[in-house]
Structure 1
Amino acid sequence: MKNLLIGTAALAMFAGAAFAESHSVVRLGTEGAYPPYNYIDDDGEVAGFERELGDELCSRAELTCEWVTNEWDSIIPNLVSGNYDTIIAGMSITDERDEVIDFTQNYTQPDPSAFLAMEGMELDMEGGIFAAQAGTIQASYIAEMGATLVEFATPDETIAAVRNGEADAVLADKAYLAPIADENADLAFVGDDILIGGGIGMGLRESDGELRAKFDAAIQSMKDDGSLNALIEKWEVGETF
C-alpha cells in the first residue's frame, strides 16, 4: 500500500535488546488516519480493520498489547528507535523497507489503487497533476509515470487538493477512496484500477525475530481457520485468501 521513503536506515543500529528480554507489553504503532484500515473513533480510540486484527493477533499470540498512534511520515524511524514495537498501519511489504525493518507474512492481498477526481474530469496521465500521500507507493507510481506529483502529509489533504483544484486527481488505495466516492456525488473514479505493492504486513525491528515469529504464527492461524477472510470481507479491504 504505502512505500515510505526514508534516509534514516542507520537508525537500525539503535534497536534494543530482543523482545522477550525488554518488553512486557507490546506496543502496536498505527497511523489512525486511514479508514477502513485504521482511524480514531468518536471515543478517541483506534478503530478499523487493523484494530480488530491486531487485538485478535495479540490474543492468539498470548501477548499483552497497547495501541500507539504516530504520523505516517515518521512511522518507520520511530519503530526503529523504540517508540513502539510493531507497525500495523496499512503498510505494504516492499524491498526498500525490508532493508531497514522486518515484516511478518502479509495479512491482506495486494489492494487495488484508483484515481479519484471531480465528476466529469478527464485525466491527462502524462501531463496531469496528481495528489498522493507522501511516502506512499502511489506517490512513487505517479513519479515514475512522468506526471506531476503533489504530496501531502495526510490522506484528507489529498482529497482537499482535488476539491480546490491543486490536483486533477488523487491516487490512493481504492478501499480508502470508495466510501468517499459513495458519499460525495461530485467525486468519481477515473480510469482503471492499478495493482501496486505486494500486500500488507506488520513491520518490526530486525532485532525482534521472536516477536515476528509469534505474529507470523497468529496470522497463519487466522488464515487457516477463515477468520482473517471474515475480517477482510467485513471491512472490504481487498480480496480474501
Structure 2
Amino acid sequence: MKKLMLGTALLAMTASFASAQDVVRMGTEGAYPPYNFINDNGEVDGFERELGDELCARAELTCEWVTNEWDSIIPNLVSGNYDTIIAGMSITAERDEVIDFTQDYYPPTESSYAAIDTGADLKGGVIAAQTGTIQAGYVAETGATLLEFATPDETVAAVKNGEADAVFADKDFLAPIVAESDLEWVGEGVPLGGGIGLGLRESDAELKTKFDAAITSMKEDGTLNTMLQKWFGEEIGTY
C-alpha cells in the first residue's frame, strides 16, 4: 500500500540478527491512522501496534516501539536505529533491493483520489501526495503536477486550503477523512504495491523467519482477519 523508497541504494549492515538479542525495536511512523498513530497518552497505537505486539508474543520476542519520520525510515533501519519497519510500507521491487520483507500482513489494496471539487483535473492538475510513497511515484508518471509533503496530514490540508486539486493516498487512510469532511472521492481507484509487510535488514534472516511464522499462524487461525476488520471495517480484503 503506501510508500516508495527515496534516494539511492544503501549499504546493508553486515551484522546478522542474534537470537540472544534482548529487545527487538519495532520502527513505525506514528502518523498514519489507522495503521499507526500516537494516542492521547503519547503511545504508539493503531492496527500495526496491536499486530506487532501479537506477532512479538507469538514469536516469543521482547519488543519495544520506536518512531521515525517517514522520509528516513529505511536508512535508519539499515543504520541499526531499530530492527523492523512496521509502518504501512508496501512491498515493492525497488525497496526489496535495499531491505528484506516478511510475507504481507495486509493484502494489496487501492489508492484513491479525494478532492473538494468532483471535477478536479487528475491528469493535468496539482496532486498532493506524501514524499517517498508509491502514490507520489505514480502521480509523477501521470503528467499531473506532483506536490509532495512530509506527512499525510499535510497532503489533505493542501487540498482543503486550495494548494492542490486533489490528494492521492491509500484509500483506507482517506476513507474516514472523506466521511467526516467536505472531501469527496474523485476518479477511479488505482491498485498499487504488493501488500504490506514488515521491513527488515537483509542480514536478519532469522528474525524474518520468526515473524513470517507468526504472520502465518495469525492467518491460519483467523486472528489477522479479525484484526483487519476491527481497524478497517467489514469490507476490508482478508486472507
Tell whether the structures are fold-level matches, with TM greater than 0.5: yes
Aligned-partner Cα distance in 2 for 1:180–1:168: 16
> In structure 2, do the counterparts of structure 1 residues 21 and 52 end up closer, same or farther at CA, with 3 Å as the change threshold?
closer
Contact in 1 for aligned 2:4/2:137 (Cα 8 Å): no
Partner amino acid, structure 2, of 1:6: L
Cross-structure match for 1:35 = 33
Task: Describe the SS at the equivalent of 2:148.
Answer: strand
| Cα displacement (A) at 1:22 | 6.8
Cross-structure match for 1:209 = 205
Cross-structure match for 1:126 = 123
Residue among 209, 225, 228 paired with 1:232: 228
Aligned-partner Cα distance in 1 for 2:237–2:38: 25
Cross-structure match for 1:67 = 65
> In structure 2, do the counterparts of structure 1 residues 16 and 68 end up closer, same or farther at CA, with 3 Å as the change threshold?
farther
| Cα displacement (A) at 1:8 | 4.2
The answer to which structure has the higher helix fraction is 1
| Cα displacement (A) at 1:16 | 4.9
RMSD: 1.3
Aligned-partner Cα distance in 2 for 1:47–1:235: 11
- Which structure 2 segments of 5+ residues have no match? none
Residue among 145, 149, 157 paired with 1:148: 145
Answer with 174-183 or 92-101: which moved more.
174-183
Aligned-partner Cα distance in 1 for 2:193–2:150: 20
| Cα displacement (A) at 1:194 | 1.4
| Cα displacement (A) at 1:164 | 1.1
Residue among 158, 167, 172 paired with 1:170: 167
TM-score, normalization: structure 2? 0.96
Answer with 90-99 or 191-200: which moved more.
191-200
Aligned-partner Cα distance in 2 for 1:149–1:90: 21
Number of residue pairs the alignment of both structures matches: 237
Aligned-partner Cα distance in 2 for 1:135–1:193: 20
Contact in 2 for aligned 1:121/1:168 (Cα 8 Å): no
Aligned-partner Cα distance in 2 for 1:40–1:122: 35
| Cα displacement (A) at 1:221 | 0.3
TM-score, normalization: structure 1? 0.95
